[in-house]
Amino acid sequence: MTSSTSALSQLKKFTIVVADTGDFERMREFQPQDATTNPSLILKAAQQANYQNLVHQVKTAHFGMKPVDLVDYILVAFGLEILKIVPGRVSTEVDARLSFDTQATVHKAKHLISLYESHGIDRKRVLIKLAATWEGIQAAKILESEGIHCNMTLIFSLVQAAACGAVNAKLISPFVGRITDWYKAKLGVEWSDARHGGPNDPGVTSVKRIFHYYKRFGISTEIMGASFRNTNQILELAGCDLLTISPELLGELQASHASVELKLNPGNAARALENENISQLKLDESHFRLQLNNDPMATEKLAEGIRNFCIDTEKLENLLTH
């Protein structure tokens, strides 16, 4: 079934569309409300020829600064350019190497906010991205109490999402594609797109479960599906609060005229949870760690995600020394 309007335009009627990139020049044509960045995306953008002037300006303005500190200024420089394009918010990530240190995370987050505010940016337009470790979630609790809003990232399980909601984090980013990757690798030849794709895609069902849990228990934290591998995953989550999408997939949605239907509806949350037999989770530290530990996919993907962000942060530091 096709429509006269693009799939992207239809999706925007149900969901706030966010651009998932540091390449701010590419996001203009898609008119997203918000934009998200991470160390990997900024590293990728910082290596492109068209952003060398921006990188050079930051390095010159802060000549002699240690690369570990200079990274913050690079992240904010890209964020400031993004905020000239999007009417909403930009997400800027705290150094992933601080993922298990609550106080250091709080300190770094406040520094990033101070850099934005020194350029006249209201802190409401910035989301500080933190890995959803126990320590990261406790940092979010402190930051949110001081009016610094957080985007909790690398979410692969309901217990992570529930704990973020319990501390009133502004937004969570449950990862869809990386969950699917794990199950695809686990099943190997037994994986079938027909049987495990579409509404049964494990990444999609994970976000649906979080959505239903939040709506059923009155959690106001925004849910932003992230890490998509294809447009089918995106369209299966139409109705999610927000979806952050790469420029490549935004382009596919803009070129498509497939009919988009509402898939997630808060009114169906209670019934959906009854079908899945989910009750409110215990969220003290020991229960959180045990539930996360007992989910091998979430444990592995969280560790891998932090590890890769650490590697790309170090690559970005190396780039800034040359």
DSSP 83-138: HTT-SS-EEEE--GGGTT-HHHHHHHHHHHHHHHHHTT--GGGEEEEEE-SHHHHH
In angstroms, rounded to a whole number, what is the distance separating the alpha carbons of residues 106 and 128? 10
Neighbours of 155 (CB within 10 A): 29
Amino acid 275: pLDDT: 76
* Low-confidence stretches of the chain (pLDDT beneath 50): none
Residue 73's contacts (CB-CB under 8 Å, 6 or more residues apart) are 58, 61, 62, 65, 115
Amino acid 92: pLDDT: 97
- Average pLDDT in the chain: 95
pLDDT digit string (tens) for 275-300? 777 789 999 999 999 999 999 999 99
- Given a contact cutoff of 8 angstroms between Cβ atoms, the answer to whether 163 and 137 are in contact is yes
Q: Give the class (CATH, top level) of 7-320.
A: alpha beta
Share of the chain above pLDDT 70, in %: 100
In the set 108, 129, 170, 208, the catalytic residue is 129
In angstroms, rounded to a whole number, what is the distance separating the alpha carbons of residues 47 and 228? 23
Quick check: helix, strand or coil at residue 188? Answer: helix
Neighbours of 95 (CB within 10 A): 20
Judging by beta carbons within 10 Å of its beta carbon (0-12, 13-18, 19+), is residue 73 exposed, middle or buried? middle
What CA–CA distances, in Å, run from 267 to 53, 214, 318?
50, 12, 50
In angstroms, rounded to a whole number, what is the distance separating the alpha carbons of residues 297 and 31? 34
Is 141 labeled as catalytic in the residue annotation?
A: no
**H/E run at residue 180:** helix 177-187
Q: What is the pTM of this model?
A: 0.96
Amino acid 1: pLDDT: 67
Q: What are phi and psi of 60, to 5 degrees?
A: -70, -40
Neighbours of 50 (CB within 10 A): 10
In angstroms, rounded to a whole number, what is the distance separating the alpha carbons of residues 295 and 273? 19
Amino acid 21: pLDDT: 94
Q: What residue has token string 């933190």? A: 130
Q: Where are the domains of the chain?
A: 7-320
Q: For residue 206, how many C-alpha atoms fall within 13 Å in the half-sphere facing its CB?
A: 32
pLDDT digit string (tens) for 59-108? 999 999 999 999 999 999 999 999 999 999 999 999 999 999 999 999 99
Helix %, strand %, coil % of the chain (to 5): 60, 10, 30
